[in-house]
Structure 1
């Protein structure tokens, strides 16, 4: 950590104030003279600058060295986790035409809870309670969303609700999750380095190891490659309540994305069989979205009930966030998360386990029903 602090003091002093500002969630550097930040979900240009391109490259080399990595003309990309938990990605010229391009994503040091998400307006009380029940019942959950939509935060919160008696194994490319649970094992991949004789350890390798380490649940931090097939198999082979995140715009796209990732490798499983496996493994999709007002909200909580006779994924919205207006002073969207008149297929499990969540909690408010009728009338 001291090496990293020295690197900040000596090389990153032009942006030191940005890195220390708790309100800044991301620092984006497009060459030495153009720096942007994200604050409260919105992007702003700042006056901070590096002296020149050489100073910026030197800073990135120092950062890479502080975390045991290299970045040079032979290794022009850096993807790493910094000692303070931030994540950094760097691309050097000539690939980066604007000059050395950097994104440093900072993560809140405060561990958020479901109550915090309710306070922030990301979830309703009923939706938060429903997700808590899904965790308790061991439903497989995929958190879907775009970059910076709050997927990691949501997965942290959900993972922290896992019962204390269960063993959780977390697998990530770069360790970002900070799940607060009783029994957690964290794995992180390793990049290959031929010069030092270091072999690669991939997410797929770690999933195989995790399966042999008596997990109750497995979390794959971000599914973006052929490891999707391993996660799907984990979910279909008795490790109920496993979770992961995926980049997608809506619940159905999340399933399609996972299906595509499963087929990326050298798998010999037919596409139709993969689609059935995904439809069977996926139970709950939590869709996180970043709206144009900068707000991050849970836009959908949906159940996947398999595939229909045409091979399409069947998705049913249980809760969704609906915009009802816009604050003229702040520009913030006004809205609320509402139930969608759909009772999940596992409602009987809720009843049998005597969990206090009546069926009436799935009934939409009258104003939403009227809105749906109006929308159908306009469509007709």
Structure 2
């Protein structure tokens, strides 16, 4: 099969010519009848014992397809070979999409029918220790192979089984690499490095897929080796290049509705672990109360990510999350003003993930306000750090931030204009 897109052509292997439903079922039954995990040797033996004359190439194709059906993502497995693919979406048996950072692209991968798609979703969820059925039709789970699976069954989904797969890539980027890739200008990188050095508390905002986790990992990699990083996540995704990292992951309730451990509880536990920096991978619920309280009690240099359309929308988002923890907006604003120092906003512009703004947090007239310090304007940063005419607009938040970071002369040029 092949998938054509604006980025070129991807080849995922001519599986259908070598593997039919009968062979797949025969090998599956043979392998699953044996105890223990499925191995390549067991699959090869089962293919050989099936009596099919496939030849060397056909046998390899059959093994690849059958192994994917038993242990991997089935017909979707070939899509993961492209290292740029971060997400796979299945809206229907004949509607499969992927995302390589520039938005969804439709690909020429098909399921035989709804039953095959549903069987794959059920198997993937089961491999993560959860159950997907009529009593639990919506499930989000991380499985051992590094995929984060979200599945929805009818009638919650009006069109059939929905399957979303996020692929955990182990590539760890540095700020320098992000500058070279055009994700930020050198000035932004210098300011962010200084933010980490001076242990300012921060939130990284942006929409889904804007690169918040990637940037957070890069920033944590700047922390001194002697610091102990305690990471709190709903699903472990952060992998900072740092020698002392402790990660705690939330646990969903079991089939009996018990055993859940949420992020709020994990933040409370983390405070007893002497964290050098406390990081919440994504603030999405009542854990925001514990995080703000921690930042207000001497835990500096901490932060996390939050979904928001812009930096200015962060206070409203915090107020909404605080309501889940029975906090009034006034309480959220007071806590946030003393807890947070900086908001770093990411945006997806023309298919590119970029650092679009750095802002400071202040309390004004009883409300939490985000004051722009540096904002990306005009063109985007180019590859290898080239400016391409980019200018950084200075906002009213820049003078106090620059003074605090010791960067007061950073944007001064003979012409008096901000440089990239």
TM-score by length of 2: 0.77
Q: Does 1:209 align with 2:269?
A: yes
Aligned residue for 2:266, secondary structure, equals helix
Tell whether the 8 Å contact from 2:341 to 2:360 is kept in structure 1 after alignment. yes
The structure 1 residue matched to 2:185, chosen from 124, 132, 137, is: 124
SS in 2 for 1:17: helix
CA contact (8 A) 2:381 2:390 kept: no
3-state SS, counterpart of residue 371 of structure 2: strand
In the alignment, is residue 57 of structure 1 matched against residue 118 of structure 2?
yes
> Is the contact between residue 7 and residue 66 of structure 1 (CA under 8 Å) also seen in structure 2?
no
1:361 has 2:410 as partner: yes
* Change in CA separation of 1:134 and 1:13 when aligned onto 2, cut-off 3 Å: same
Q: 3-state SS of the aligned residue for 2:160?
A: coil
Residue in 2 that maps onto 1:338? 392
The within-5 A match list for 1:259-270 is: 259-265=319-325, 267=326, 269-270=327-328
Deviations 1:146-177 (A, max 9, x none): 01111111111111111111111101111111
Structure 2: distance between partners of 1:153 and 1:365: 35
Identify if the C-alpha distance between structure 1 residues 4 and 120 changes in structure 2 by more than 3 Å, giving closer, same or farther: farther
Query: Residue 199 of structure 2: which of 135, 138, 147 is its match?
Result: 138
Deviations 1:7-51 (A, max 9, x none): 733373311111222122211100111011112413211110111
| Aligned partner (choices 336, 358, 367) of residue 301 of structure 1 | 358
| Residue 154 (1) aligns with residue 211 (2) | no
Distance 2:176 2:414 in 1: 22
Given that 2:330 and 2:367 are in contact with CA atoms closer than 8 Å, whether structure 1 keeps it comes out as no
Tell me the SS of whatever aligns to 2:398: coil
- The residue correspondences of 1:151-230 to structure 2 (distance < 5 A) are 151-195=212-256, 198-230=258-290
Classify 1:336/1:121 alpha carbon distance in 2 versus 1 (closer, same or farther; 3 Å).
Answer: farther
> Post-superposition shift, 1:346?
5.0
- 1:248 equivalent among 283, 287, 308: 308
- Pair 231,344 (structure 1): closer, same or farther in 2 beyond 3 Å: farther
For 1:233, the equivalent position in structure 2 comes to 293
Go from structure 1 to structure 2 and tell me whether the alpha carbon gap of 1:57 and 1:275 turns closer, same or farther (over 3 Å shift): same
Structure 1 residues 367 and 34: alpha-carbon distance in aligned structure 2, compared to 1, 3 A threshold: farther
Give, in whole Å, the separation in 2 of the partners of 1:7 and 1:189: 30
Distance 1:153-1:170 versus aligned 2 partners, 3 A rule: same
Corresponding residue for residue 376 of structure 1: none
1:319 and 2:374 aligned: yes
Tell whether the 8 Å contact from 1:3 to 1:66 is kept in structure 2 after alignment. Answer: no
SS at match of 1:360: coil
Give the match for residue 378 of structure 1: none
Using the TM superposition, give the Cα deviation of residue 84 of structure 1 relative to its aligned residue in structure 2, in angstroms: 3.5
Aligned to 1:273: 331
Match of 2:98 in 1: 37
Instruction: Point out where structure 1 has 5 or more consecutive residues left out of the alignment.
Output: 328-332, 352-356, 370-380
**Deviating more after overlay: 221-230 vs 102-111:** 102-111
- Cα deviation, 1:192-215, whole Å, max 9, x if unaligned, reads 1153x8511110111110011111
Q: Distance in 2 between matches of 1:365 and 1:255?
A: 37
How far residue 58 of structure 1 moved from its aligned partner, in angstroms, is 0.7
Counterparts in 2 of 1:366 and 1:49: CA distance versus 1, 3 Å? farther
Distance 1:323 1:99, change over 3 A: farther
- State whether residues 130 and 254 of structure 2, in contact with CA within 8 Å, keep that contact through their aligned partners in structure 1: no
- Structure 1 residues 93 and 315: alpha-carbon distance in aligned structure 2, compared to 1, 3 A threshold: same
Q: Assess, with a 3 A threshold, how the Cα gap between structure 1 residues 256 and 209 changes in structure 2: closer, same or farther.
A: same
Q: How has the CA–CA distance of structure 1 residues 4 and 37 changed in structure 2, closer, same or farther, with 3 Å as cutoff?
A: farther
Q: Count how many residue pairs are aligned between Structure 1 and Structure 2.
A: 351
SS at match of 1:64: helix
Write the distance in 2 (CA, Å) between the matches of 1:85 and 1:77: 20
Asked whether the equivalents of residues 339 and 364 of structure 1 are also in contact (C-alpha less than 8 Å), the reply is: no
Kindly name which structure, 1 or 2, has the bigger radius of gyration based on alpha carbons.
2
**Secondary structure in structure 2 of the residue aligned to 1:277:** helix
| Structure 1 residue 117, shift from structure 2 partner | 0.9
Q: Is the 8 A contact 1:27 1:37 kept in 2?
A: yes
